[in-house]
Structure 1
Amino acid sequence: MALGGDTGRVPPGVTLANWQSAPQLHWAFQHVAEFLPTAVISRGTGPVAEMSQAPTELAGIPLYDRTNGRRTTVGEVMDATITDGWMVTQHGKLLGEHYYGGMTADSPHILMSVSKTLVATVVGALVSSGAVNPDAPVTHYVPALAESGYAGATVRNLLDMRSGIKFSEDYQDPMAEVRLIEQAIGWAPRTVADLPSTMYDFLVSLRQKSPHGGPFEYRSCETDVLGWICEAAGGMRMPELMSQLLWSKLGARINASIGVDSVGTGMFDGGINACMSDLVRVGSLFLNGGTSATGERVVSLSWIADTFAGGLDSRTAFAASPRDTGMPGGMYRNQVWFPYPGNNVLVCTGIHGQLIYVNRAADMVAAKLSSWPLPEDPGKLFPTIAAFDEIATQLS
């Protein structure tokens, strides 16, 4: 199936069926707006929150690669993990940034599930203003969900991915819901004739398999429902809402964008596109108590504190996940990952190698954008996190 948009700019051979596959994805991930419907998330008219420079040699930092038992360096890890770009900041200063294969500082790159953290930040802004109660049932904001498996679930259940909804996140299974939702919104050729044709219709079709509030289970649909709740509580579509509550307050370098379905509903769980430095600006919110580099408050200090503290049973629920997270002792809270037993490090991750890394002890934020051939690749994810851990250790 051919792609839409400006066909003169889409390289021959890139189709709706293969744009998320290697080698096509390297081009596609930086040009989504050229072949899929998108909506702009405006940065507003304020100045860019420029970062002062503090050039530091980072690529040569040595570390031990636990995946293969050999010594390596940060630079070698970045080379081995099919990196499009990576950057590190400390105390708000830019220590270094690197781009590969034609990517630049202004390139909008698809964030995949790092988008989830951005949507959760909008939820946090609405919670901070009193427009959303995380303990309220989702049907309070979206009555249409009463006909779905989400009846009885709370906003908190979704923020922490602990609903009881039936949704497979197996990217290698073409019939898994995570792949079917792509067909529903027009991101993949339709092979299932009776599939809903919009995001919201697809969400209403989902059914419950277990009690809400149970173990952590990673399901992209949770974020899509959160996006729907944001639109209902905020009274506007997500591109405008995210611009107003988040993007225009960041001092962002460029406008972001979000993929949309046939009726303009966003692909909330993985469809946002942004440049790499703006990811660092988002990550900095966690170090600055919810305040951006422009001095504007995005979310309350209590929202940030709750994210780091987690709930009373967050780690127990995480340990009970039916899938191996590779993060023993960790937790998932407000759509971010805590990979270790402590709460010093958080990461926001997306398939094919998208990452925000935040280290409180080192006052460090890093970002990495990638084009991994496989959606999930622990052999690339965990060495990347370890590389940033080692940078943080050296900087502390």
Structure 2
Amino acid sequence: MALGARGLTGAVVAGAGLAAGAAWLWRNQGTVATSRPVNEWTFTHMSVLMPVDTVPRSARPRPLARREGALEGFGYAFGGRWRTLDDLHRRTHTTGFAVVHRGALVHEAYPGVFASPDTRFQLFSLTKSVTSVLVGIAREEGALGLDDQVVSHLPALAGSAYDGTTVGHLLDMCSGVGGVEDYADPDAPVNRFERAVTGGGSVLDVIRSLPRAAAPGTAFNYSTLDTQVLGQVLEAATGEPLARCAARRLWDPAGAESDAYYFLTRGRPRVALGGGSFNATVRDLARLGLLLARGGERDGRQVVPAAWVERGRGTGLPHLEVGALGDGLPAHYGYANQWWTLGGEHRAFTGLGIHGQFLWIDPVADAVVVKTSAWPTADDLERDAETVAALTALVSWLDARG
């Protein structure tokens, strides 16, 4: 049946409205996808939204023993009040949570709407710590060294601000390249990078456009693009994409029970994000944490060099010590080897991702805590402070009870 003039006009207007809405959604997809409550779905369904490269589960999954009752009666002080784990989960939008102590899973919870033991969670910058582990293994194999020049592995960056930067500079976020990682600034390098990843643009062009801000090795500047470069150096040095590198060197020997994956750029050639696109289950992250808490060893096999694990607990560089990272960063963190250091007698360390992702490792207490979250904003100093207070208290509670 043919449309009348009025009906045709209405259809045209409606079609134009849909087109405009689709264009707006495309331009603002990052904002929509990371805002609550949508982000609870987004952070557990990245494989629906982006192309991916799978990291297969281990051929020899590592069983996790269970021990009940270890956290019965636990609470923590924050904001002048005594709080419980349920308070932590509610106040900091926890989606998945697991605690391993002395090799046993003593607590597991999935408060997230779409969360379960089988859910792969988007880990954002916690990916950086995984990349560091892979670099350490590849270095032990002789594929690359800390003093290697970036451009010796990535000639396409010759003449860019990364010309003169070493692998060691990238690991400690001291490349001297780029500006402040400010998710609220649409023109910040990290946001231009995100638009290239999701919009089909050139990641290489963004990296090459970054200015020199300081001499390499002299100042800390947290930068996702540094780790993107590090991941691409690793791929070039090993001759393998990140997913295959991770599967063979880490996921299989660590005993992962589930497939993980990296999401890839929409533009071609497809590129995994060494600084932010790893997705895995909470339990498998706990297995990774347990491996590192035990000095990189599993069942008599040295999977990760012990010295590399130690490097992630602090390098002794004054500008990377706890409290020395500069304005805008919490004083309870230092930095080393793509990990956030916590200092103190135990020299615990943690991987972090925006929106509240944590892999907390205390080798002295032989304790690991995994927390995935869906914070309303990328960074939240108050929720970070409460999480740090809670996890510090939790590990102390376990350590005191043996």
Spell out structure 1 runs of 4+ moving beyond 4 A. 14-17
Q: 1:79 to 1:319 in 2, by over 3 A?
A: closer
Q: Does 1:200 align with 2:204?
A: yes
Which of these residues, 49, 69, 79, is aligned with residue 80 of structure 2?
Answer: 69
Which of these residues, 99, 102, 114, is aligned with residue 110 of structure 2?
Answer: 99
- Between the aligned partners of 2:45 and 2:300, the Cα distance in structure 1 is 32
Q: Is the 8 A contact 1:87 1:368 kept in 2?
A: yes
Calculate the aligned-residue CA RMSD, in Å.
2.1
- Between the aligned partners of 2:32 and 2:346, the Cα distance in structure 1 is 38
- Between the aligned partners of 1:198 and 1:240, the Cα distance in structure 2 is 23
Q: Does 1:173 align with 2:185?
A: yes
Q: 1:321 to 1:393 in 2, by over 3 A?
A: closer
Which of these residues, 285, 302, 306, is aligned with residue 301 of structure 1?
Answer: 306
Offset, 1:389? 1.4
Aligned counterpart, 1:32: 46
Q: Does 1:340 align with 2:340?
A: no
The one-letter code matched in structure 2 to 1:37 is P
Q: 1:315 to 1:36 in 2, by over 3 A?
A: closer
Offset, 1:151? 0.9
The unaligned stretches of length 5 or more in structure 1 are: 3-13, 191-196
TM-score, structure 2 as length reference? 0.87
Offset, 1:198? 2.7
The one-letter code matched in structure 2 to 1:385 is V
Q: Which has the larger radius of gyration?
A: 2
Offset, 1:290? 1.3
Q: Does 1:364 align with 2:377?
A: no
Q: 1:47 to 1:57 in 2, by over 3 A?
A: same
Which of these residues, 215, 220, 224, is aligned with residue 216 of structure 1?
Answer: 220
Q: Is the 8 A contact 1:22 1:373 kept in 2?
A: yes
Which of these residues, 283, 288, 307, is aligned with residue 282 of structure 1?
Answer: 288
- Between the aligned partners of 2:163 and 2:291, the Cα distance in structure 1 is 33
Offset, 1:319? 4.9
Aligned counterpart, 2:153: 141
Give CA deviations for 1:334-390 in whole Å, capped at 9, x if unaligned: 100113355521111100011001112211001001111111012111211221211
Give CA deviations for 1:210-264 in whole Å, capped at 9, x if unaligned: 1111121111111101101101100111111111111121111211111111221
Match of 2:270, SS state, is: coil
Q: Is the 8 A contact 1:59 1:74 kept in 2?
A: no
Offset, 1:321? 3.4
- Between the aligned partners of 1:21 and 1:199, the Cα distance in structure 2 is 24
- Between the aligned partners of 1:315 and 1:121, the Cα distance in structure 2 is 19
TM-score, structure 1 as length reference? 0.88
Q: 1:358 to 1:135 in 2, by over 3 A?
A: same
Match of 1:216, SS state, is: coil
Match of 1:394, SS state, is: helix
- Between the aligned partners of 2:317 and 2:66, the Cα distance in structure 1 is 41
Q: 1:335 to 1:284 in 2, by over 3 A?
A: same
- Between the aligned partners of 2:257 and 2:307, the Cα distance in structure 1 is 27
Match of 1:367, SS state, is: strand
Aligned counterpart, 1:41: 55
The one-letter code matched in structure 1 to 2:351 is C
Offset, 1:130? 1.6
Offset, 1:288? 1.5
Q: Is the 8 A contact 1:217 1:323 kept in 2?
A: no
Aligned counterpart, 1:6: none
The one-letter code matched in structure 2 to 1:153 is T
Q: Relative to total residues, which structure has the larger helix share, 1 or 2?
A: 2
Q: Percent identity?
A: 30
1:1-396 equivalences under 5 Å are: 15=29, 17-44=31-58, 46-58=59-71, 60-65=73-78, 68-100=79-111, 101-186=113-198, 197-261=201-265, 262=267, 263-292=269-298, 295-313=300-318, 315=320, 319-328=323-332, 330-342=333-345, 344-396=347-399
**299-308 or 96-105, which moves further after superposition?**
299-308
Give CA deviations for 1:54-112 in whole Å, capped at 9, x if unaligned: 012526412210xx222222331222110101110111100010012231100011001
The unaligned stretches of length 5 or more in structure 2 are: 1-16, 19-27
